[in-house]
Amino acid sequence: MKDLFIYHQGTGTLISLSDSVYLVDADIAGEQVMDAMENGETVGVLEHGGYRLDNYNMTNLFFTTD
């Protein structure tokens, strides 16, 4: 399986999708959850509109063949 990364051009940060990475809508999650996530806490992420991004589902998104 491919090892995919998220890249932030401004800071040069690479985040492997092998790590626990979540896509979260800040409007749904609210400020309290976003603050907790910035401190490395993931408790309650899924209940507040978070979706786990990983190599499996992103590979399916970008590399599907029809």
What are the φ and ψ backbone dihedral angles of 15, each rounded to 5 degrees? -120, 120
Domain count of the fold of the chain: 1
Residue 43 has a pLDDT of 59
Domain that holds residue 56: 5-62
What gap in Å lies between CA 42 and CA 57, rounded to an integer? 19
The per-residue pLDDT for range 11-60, each reduced to its tens digit, is 999 999 888 787 877 777 777 777 877 787 765 666 656 777 888 877 77
pLDDT at 66 over 60: no
Q: What is the pLDDT of residues 6-18, one digit of tens each?
A: 899 999 999 998 8
What are the residues whose beta carbons fall under 8 Å from the beta carbon of 26, sequence distance 6 or more?
A: 34
